[in-house]
Structure 1
Amino acid sequence: MKMFSVAHKTVFVVDHCPYMAESSRQQVECDVLTKSRAQGVIPLAPVSKSLWTCAVECSMEYYRIQSFISFNEHISDMNNATDVFCNSQINYIVSDSEFHILNSWRREDQTTHELMATLAAVGPPNPREDPECCSILHGLVAAVESLCKITELQREKRTALMDTAERVANRGRIICLTNAKSDTHVRMLEDCIQETILEQNKLAAGSDRLMAVQQCDLVLVHIYPQGEDTLVSDRPKKEISPLLTSEVHSVRAGRHLASKLNILVQQHFDLASTTITNIPMKEEQHANTSANYDVELLHHRDAHLEFFKSGESLCSLHVHPACIVRCVCVVGDLHMAGTSTRENGLKETITLKWCTPRTNSIELHYCTGAYRISPTDVNSRPSSCLTNFLLNGRSVLLEQPRKSGSKVISHMLSSHGGEIFLHVLNSNRSTLEDPPSISEGCGGRVTDYRITDFGEFMRENRLTPVSEASHNPSGKLPIERAKAQLERHTRYWPMIISQTTIFNMQAVVPLANLIVKETLTEEDVLTCQKTIYNLVDMERKNDPLPISTVGSRGKGPKRDEQYRIMWNELETLVKTHAAATDRHQRVLDCIIACRSKPPEEEERKKRGRKREDREDRMEKNGSKETEDKSWQESEKLKGLLEKDNPETEVIKDSPDSPEPLNKKPRLITEEAPPPERAKGPVTLLSMWTSRITAANSRKHQEFFGRASSVNSKFELYQHLKDESGMDIHENGKTSR
C-alpha cells in the first residue's frame, strides 16, 4: 500500500523561446460597439495573441480549476491498491536560455495571484533573441529535479510512519507546452527526461531531502498557429520505461488549446462536467425582459454516481446543445465517454435543469455528497451572475430533464464559507426512513434468510483494537489474521435456510464450529468424528431431517434422499477446509468412510425404499381404488339387470378342476322350475333375491324339512310312532 498518486505533483514547463512570440492567427475583435459607434469613427483593428500568451492563459486556467477543486481528504484507490492523497500542488517553470522556477511546493506559494504577478514580471518572449541559446530542455531537467523535492505533506507522512517510510511514494506529472520541430524532436525530449530521472534517483538515494521518482507521466502539448499544418503527430499514452510514460497532443493555438487543457484537467483530477440549463436572467440592456442561459460547471466525477445507482443512463439525459455526446455505460465500472463537435475535441457533460421555486439555505435537504465546483468560463456574464447569486446565500435545486414522468430533483447548488458546492440529493429511498422489507431485496421475494445465524457470525468476526505490545512481530498483523479468519468462515456459508440442511441441525453444530478453525487439536478431531458417528446412528434409526419443502410439492424428498443431501452438504463443507492441516483431512476421511455402506445395509435400504414407495402409492391411490370398486360393483349390478332371461345364467364350474375347500359338491338333481315372473313393478331387492334363490337351488339338494314344513314348523321323529306304537308330543310326554 503506497501513498500519494501522480496527481499530487504537477510541473508545468512553458516554452519561452523566441518562436513562441509568433502569432496564433486567431483574430480577437476589440471593437464590439458596432451599433452605438458614431459616424466617422474608424473601428479598432482585430488583434491576435501570440503562442506564448495562449500557452500562459490555458495553463493558468488549468491551475485555477485545480485550485478551485482541491481535495485534501484521504481517498483509497482500489484499482491500483494504493492509498491516495489528492492534495495536488503545481510547480510552474519557464524555459528559455535557462530555466525560471516561478513558485515552490510550499503551500503559501500555491496561489494564482502570486503566480500571475511572477508571470507578468517574466514578460513575453524576445523575438530577437538567439534561438540557438534557448531550449525547452532546461525547463524539463528542472522539472525532474523539482519532482525529486519533498513536499510538506510528504515530509509529514514520512515522519509519522518512521519505519515504514517507504510506503510514501513519489510520483508526479510533467506538462510541457512547447512548439516542437518534429516527432524526432519529441523522442529526443523523452530520452532526455529518462536520463535525467535516472541521474536524479542516484542522487536522491543518499539524501534525506530528496526522494527518488518512482513514476513520471509526461504530457507534451505541441502548439502551432492556426492555418498551418502540424509537424508532430498525436500519440496516446505509451510506456517509455518503468519510470516514464509519455503522451503527445498536437493542438492549434487559441480556443482549441483552451478546450484541450480543459479536457486534460478533467482526466488528471477525475473531474466531470455539468451544464445548468434554463437559468433565467434579466437582460442587461433591457431590464424588463429575461432570457435563459446555460452555465457549465466542473466538479468531481462522484457527483454523477447517483444517476447510475438509480438506473438512469446518460443517454436518457439531455445533452448540452453545443455538444453531441455519445455515452457508454459499462456494467460494474461507472464510465462515461463523450464525443463532441465543439472545439474538435472530446467533451462530456450532463445537463441539469434550473428548478423553480428556489430554496433558502436554512432549509435542510438529505444530501449524500457535496463537491466543490468551478465554472468552465469563469469570466462570462452568466457564470458571474450565477456565482454572485449563490454567494449571497441562495440555493438552487436542479432536476433531471425527462421526456415523460414526474420530475426528479437530484442536485442542489449552495455555498458554504464562501465556496460553492454541488450537493447530491438522495432521489431514492432515504436511509432515515423505515428500512425496506427483506422480501424487497436483490434476491427477490426471499423471506427465509439466516438472520439469526448472520448476527452470530458478525459477533464471532468482530474487530477489536490490539495494542502494539501484544503483537508478535514475527507473526501476521492482526488485520491480516482477521481477514484470514473471515475468509475461512465464509468459504461455505449459505444465506437462505431452505438452501441448507446441516446448518439447521443441532447435531452438526460442534463439527461446523470446529472445522473452520485454522488448526485442530486431537480433541477437536475426536469431537468431529463423534458428530459424524451420531449422524450415522440417526440414519440407521431413520430419524427425520429438517429438509425444507419450500417450492416443492408434497412431503418433499424421501428419507434416504434427505440423508444423501445432508451427507453431500457436509462433505462440501469439510472439503473446503480439508487442505488446511492433516487433521482436517482426517475429518474428511471419516465422512467418506462412513458414507460407504456394507452390502447388507444397502439391501436393507432398498427394502425400506420399496416399502415407502408402496405405502406412498397406496396412500396416493387409496381414494382412487375406492372409486374403482364402487364403479365395478355398479357395473356388475347393471349387467345383471340387463339380463332378460335369468335361466340362461349358470355358474360355470369345470368338472376337471378341483372343488374349492369351502364349496359343497354339486348334486345332480332335477332342474327347478323357473321362478314365476312377478306381475307389475318389481323392486331391485326382490329381483336380486329371486336370482340368488334360483342359483342356490341348482347348487345342492333342498333341505327336506324346509320343503315339508307346516306353518314354518317341521315335526321331528315322524316314524317313531309307527315303530314303537307310542306318540311323543312336544312336551316330552308319551301317549298311546
Structure 2
Amino acid sequence: MKMFSVAHKTVFVVDHCPYMAESSRQQVECDVLTKSRAQGVIPLAPVSKSLWTCAVECSMEYCRILYDVYPRDKLVNYIVSDSEFHILNSWRREDQTTLELMSALAAVGPPNPREDPECCSILHGLVAAVESLCKITELQHERRTAMMDTAERVSNRGRIICLTNAKSDTHVRMLEDCIQETIMEQNKLAAGSDRLMAIQQCDLVLVHIYPQGEDTLVSDRPKKDISPLLTSEVHSVRAGRHLATKLNILVQQHFDLASTTITNIPMKEEQHANTSANYDVELLHHRDAHLEFFKSGDLHMAGTSTRENGLKETITLKWCTPRTNGIELHYCTGAYRISPTDVNSRPSSCLTNFLLNGRSVLLEQPRKLGSKVISHMLSSHGGEIFLHVLNSNRSTLEDPPSISEGCGGRVTDYRITDFGEFMKENRLTPVSESSHDPSLKLPIERGKAQLERHTRYWPMIISQTTIFNMQAVSSDDEETQERTTRSPFPRDEQYRIMWNELETLVKTHAGATDRHQRVLDCIVACRSKPPEEEERKKRGRKREDREDRTEKNGSKETEDKSWQDSEKSVVRSENIPNITDSPDSPEPLNKKPRLNSDDLQPPDRAKGPVSLLSMWTNRITVANSRKHQEFVGRASSVNNKFELYQHLKEENGMDVHENGKASR
C-alpha cells in the first residue's frame, strides 16, 4: 500500500467568498521614480493587495516550484469555492501547467464584495476536494492495469490545502468534521465503482489568512490525527510576504525539498556596463542533492544559514571562476531539477538564461582553511536546469588518477575502447511527450531494457574474455601469432575457454526468446561428446587403472629378489618374446611403459656397485626397446660396427675392404 504517497495528489481549495476581497493592508509602492520625477507631479499613492490576490499569488508560486522540480508524477487540482465550487483543472497531465491555472483564474475573477456572505462557504470546495481525491489519475490507472490480480494494493493518498479566512477554532473543527464525514461517504461509493478509489489517507493543511494589523482568531496547531483516514494541521498567517514565506516552507516540507544559495555570481550592472557586482540566487531542489552533507554532518562547513525565525535553512555554495563546458565530463553521483525561489528577479533571470545557453557552472564549498572543494555543478539538459552532485572525495581540478591504479589493483588491460562504444550505444536524449506514441513503451523504459540486456554479461578486462576478442584471436597476422605464443594457455585450451564463455553468454539471454534457447541447445550439443567416444574413453581409463595396479603388485613381489635372479629374468625376457611387445599389438602412445624393479638392476653383477646414472640409463634403454622392434643391424653388430655388403663376396667371389674397394 505504499506505491503512491500523499504527495502524488494535491488539491488547492481557495476561498472566493466576499470577505476575501478585504485588503491585506500591506502597501505596495507604485511610484519608484522619486528622484527623476518632475516638479508639480503628484506621486502615486501606494496600493495594497486583497486577501484573494495574496492567496492566488502564493498558491501559484507553490505550483510553479512543484512543476519545476516534479514535472510529471506530482499533480495539482485547483478548486475555487464561493456559492458553489469551480474546478479549474483535472488530474490529466496536459492540465498540469501554471499557464492553464492562471488562465482559469483570470476567467473566475476577483470575489464580489456585494455578494451575500450567507450563500458562500468554503465547505462547497472542501467536499469537491474529497470527491476529486477519489478520482483515478493516469499514473494510478497504469499501475492498476499492470497489477490486475492485486489492484487493491495500489494506494490512494492525497493532500488538501485550504486557503481561507476562518471565523474561530470552532469553525476549523467544524470544517474537519465535514471532511471526515465526506471521506466516509465517498469510500462507500468507491467500493462499488471501478472509476473511483477509496481514500486510505488524507492530510488537511488549513491556512488561515488575516490582514496585517489585526489579531488572529484562529490558533496554530501542529499535525494531529483526526481519524485513521484524516490528519489535520492549522497555520494562522498574516497576508502578504508572510503568506508567501509560509507556502514556500510548506512546499519544501511536502515534497522533501532543500535550498541552495549560489553566492558571488558576477553580473554586469545595467546602468554601468563596464562595472560588475556579485549577486546571490536561491534555488530549490530535492534534498538528496545535500545527502552527502547530511551523512557526514558537514553542514556547518558547507555554509548553512538559517532564515525566517529558524524555519528555513539554506546551504551556501560559491560560484567557481573556472567555468566548464557541457562537453567536459565529470563524475556525477546525482542530478536534480532546480527551481529559483524568486523567479522574476534579475539575478535569477540572468543565471537561468546563462545556463540555458549551454554553459555549465561549477560550485565550490566556501572554506576558510584548506584547498577548495568543488561539490556541485549547474547545467541544463533538454531545456531544463539540473543541479549535479559531484564526487567531492577528489577535486575535479586535480589530475585524475591513472586507470592502472584503480580499485582492482594495477590492472592495465581494461576494455576502454569497448566501453566507449558501449556508452555511445546507450546514450539517452530528451524526447517530447507529443512525439511519443502512447501505444509503445516510454523511451526511458526502452533505454533501461536495452542497458539491462547489454550488461548481463560484459567483462571489463581483456584477459577475462575470449569471445569479445574473436577478431584478434581468429586473425593470422604476426602480432596475433606472437600474442598467442606468449599466452599461458595453449591453442586448444583457448578454444575450450571460448566455448565455455560462449555458453555462459548465451545462457544469460536464453530466456528472452525461443530462438535464443535453440542457439543454446545447439552449443550444448556441439560441446557434448558422441556416445561411442565416451564409451571408448571409459574403457581406456579402466585398462590404465588395471595395468597400474598390476605394475604396483609386480614391483612389490620383485623387491626381495637377488641380483642373480634379476640377471636370469633379464636374459629370460630377452630370449622369450612378449606378446605385448610385438609389432602387432603396440601400446598406446599416451601410455607409460611397464617397468619393474629388474629394469633398474645392473646387467653385470661382477662389476660391483653401479652408479645411479647407469641404472637410469639401463631403465631408459629397456623402456625404449619395448616400444618398437629392435633394429636388426644393432642386434648383429660387433664392437658397435656392422659389416656392410655381407653377401657381396658370396655372390661375386670378391673380397670387400672397409673402404669399399674390391680385390681378387
Shorter-chain TM-score range:
0.5 to 0.7
Change (3 A) 1:387 1:473: closer
TM-score (norm 2): 0.58
Change (3 A) 1:133 1:356: same
Q: Measure how far apart 1:567 and its partner are.
A: 46
1:117-172 deviation per Cα after TM superposition (whole angstroms, max 9, x unaligned): 00001000001111000000000000000000000110111011001111100000
Change (3 A) 1:272 1:634: farther
Aligned-partner Cα distance in 2 for 1:397–1:210: 48
Q: Measure how far apart 1:726 and its partner are.
A: 103
Change (3 A) 1:621 1:389: farther
Please identify, of 289-298 and 563-572, the stretch whose mean Cα deviation from structure 2 is larger.
563-572
1:535-571 deviation per Cα after TM superposition (whole angstroms, max 9, x unaligned): xxxxxxxxxxxxxxxxx999999x9999999999999
Provide structure 2 residue ranges, at least 5 long, that are not aligned to the other structure.
71-75
Change (3 A) 1:440 1:216: farther
Maintained 8 Å contact 2:600/2:619 = no
Change (3 A) 1:488 1:619: farther
Maintained 8 Å contact 1:338/1:348 = no
Aligned-partner Cα distance in 1 for 2:608–2:244: 121
Aligned-partner Cα distance in 2 for 1:665–1:391: 84
Aligned-partner Cα distance in 2 for 1:708–1:442: 73
SS at match of 2:69: strand
Change (3 A) 1:191 1:277: same
Change (3 A) 1:713 1:125: closer
Aligned-partner Cα distance in 2 for 1:111–1:659: 90
Change (3 A) 1:497 1:51: same
Aligned-partner Cα distance in 1 for 2:516–2:451: 18
SS at match of 1:505: helix
Does residue 529 of the first structure (1) align with residue 482 of the second (2)? yes
SS at match of 1:627: coil
Maintained 8 Å contact 2:303/2:365 = no
Aligned-partner Cα distance in 2 for 1:284–1:186: 50
1:678-729 deviation per Cα after TM superposition (whole angstroms, max 9, x unaligned): 9999999999999999999999999999999999999999999999999999
Provide structure 1 residue ranges, at least 5 long, that are not aligned to the other structure.
65-82, 312-332, 507-518, 532-551, 646-650
1:71-102 deviation per Cα after TM superposition (whole angstroms, max 9, x unaligned): xxxxxxxxxxxx999xxxx0000000000000
Aligned-partner Cα distance in 2 for 1:671–1:626: 11
Counterpart in 2 of 1:566?
498
Q: Measure how far apart 1:34 and its partner are.
A: 1.5
Q: Measure how far apart 1:111 and its partner are.
A: 1.1
SS at match of 2:562: helix
Q: Measure how far apart 1:307 and its partner are.
A: 2.2
Please identify, of 420-429 and 705-714, the stretch whose mean Cα deviation from structure 2 is larger.
705-714
Maintained 8 Å contact 1:674/1:694 = no
Maintained 8 Å contact 1:336/1:348 = no
Change (3 A) 1:560 1:310: farther
Q: Measure how far apart 1:253 and its partner are.
A: 0.4
Aligned-partner Cα distance in 2 for 1:719–1:108: 115
Aligned-partner Cα distance in 2 for 1:564–1:672: 41
Q: Measure how far apart 1:467 and its partner are.
A: 36
Change (3 A) 1:376 1:604: same
Q: Measure how far apart 1:451 and its partner are.
A: 27
Counterpart in 1 of 2:167?
181
Maintained 8 Å contact 2:224/2:233 = yes
1:257-286 deviation per Cα after TM superposition (whole angstroms, max 9, x unaligned): 000000000011100000000011111111
Q: What is the root-mean-square deviation in Å for CA atoms of aligned residues?
A: 16.2
Q: Measure how far apart 1:476 and its partner are.
A: 31
Maintained 8 Å contact 1:502/1:570 = yes
Aligned-partner Cα distance in 1 for 2:324–2:202: 47
1:430-479 deviation per Cα after TM superposition (whole angstroms, max 9, x unaligned): 99999999999999999999999999999999999999999999999999
2:551 alignment partner, one of 594, 598, 619? 619
Change (3 A) 1:668 1:462: closer
Does residue 724 of the first structure (1) align with residue 656 of the second (2)? no
Change (3 A) 1:530 1:199: farther
SS at match of 1:103: coil
Q: Measure how far apart 1:363 and its partner are.
A: 1.2
Maintained 8 Å contact 2:82/2:120 = yes
Counterpart in 1 of 2:73?
none
Maintained 8 Å contact 1:471/1:477 = yes
1:32-74 deviation per Cα after TM superposition (whole angstroms, max 9, x unaligned): 111221222111111000000000000000000xxxxxxxxxx
Change (3 A) 1:630 1:459: farther
Maintained 8 Å contact 1:175/1:218 = yes
SS at match of 1:665: coil
Change (3 A) 1:243 1:442: farther
Aligned-partner Cα distance in 2 for 1:196–1:124: 28
Aligned-partner Cα distance in 2 for 1:186–1:214: 22
Change (3 A) 1:594 1:335: farther
SS at match of 2:377: strand
Aligned-partner Cα distance in 2 for 1:256–1:10: 22
SS at match of 1:670: helix
Q: Measure how far apart 1:223 and its partner are.
A: 0.4
Aligned-partner Cα distance in 2 for 1:576–1:442: 27
TM-score (norm 1): 0.53
Please identify, of 198-207 and 29-38, the stretch whose mean Cα deviation from structure 2 is larger.
29-38
Change (3 A) 1:659 1:475: closer
Change (3 A) 1:243 1:629: farther
Maintained 8 Å contact 1:28/1:47 = yes
Aligned-partner Cα distance in 1 for 2:432–2:417: 32
- Work out the percentage of aligned pairs sharing the same amino acid: 91
Change (3 A) 1:643 1:218: closer
1:513-552 deviation per Cα after TM superposition (whole angstroms, max 9, x unaligned): xxxxxx9999999999999xxxxxxxxxxxxxxxxxxxx9
Counterpart in 2 of 1:431?
396
Change (3 A) 1:50 1:570: closer
Aligned-partner Cα distance in 2 for 1:668–1:614: 16
Counterpart in 2 of 1:31?
31
Q: Measure how far apart 1:239 and its partner are.
A: 0.5
Aligned-partner Cα distance in 2 for 1:364–1:720: 94
Please identify, of 335-344 and 607-616, the stretch whose mean Cα deviation from structure 2 is larger.
607-616
Change (3 A) 1:294 1:613: farther
Aligned-partner Cα distance in 1 for 2:185–2:623: 128
Change (3 A) 1:212 1:560: same
Aligned-partner Cα distance in 2 for 1:572–1:671: 51
SS at match of 1:308: helix
Aligned-partner Cα distance in 2 for 1:722–1:362: 100
Change (3 A) 1:337 1:730: closer
Change (3 A) 1:142 1:183: same
Change (3 A) 1:527 1:691: closer
Please identify, of 458-467 and 120-129, the stretch whose mean Cα deviation from structure 2 is larger.
458-467
Change (3 A) 1:243 1:642: same
Aligned-partner Cα distance in 2 for 1:399–1:694: 85
Change (3 A) 1:236 1:711: closer
Q: Measure how far apart 1:114 and its partner are.
A: 1.1
Please identify, of 34-43 and 228-237, the stretch whose mean Cα deviation from structure 2 is larger.
34-43
Change (3 A) 1:461 1:376: closer
SS at match of 2:20: helix
Aligned-partner Cα distance in 2 for 1:139–1:361: 48
Aligned-partner Cα distance in 1 for 2:416–2:530: 40
Q: Measure how far apart 1:2 and its partner are.
A: 3.0
SS at match of 2:551: helix
Change (3 A) 1:233 1:499: farther
1:670 alignment partner, one of 583, 598, 601? 598
Maintained 8 Å contact 1:412/1:422 = yes
Maintained 8 Å contact 1:18/1:127 = yes
Aligned-partner Cα distance in 2 for 1:465–1:390: 17
Please identify, of 286-295 and 669-678, the stretch whose mean Cα deviation from structure 2 is larger.
669-678
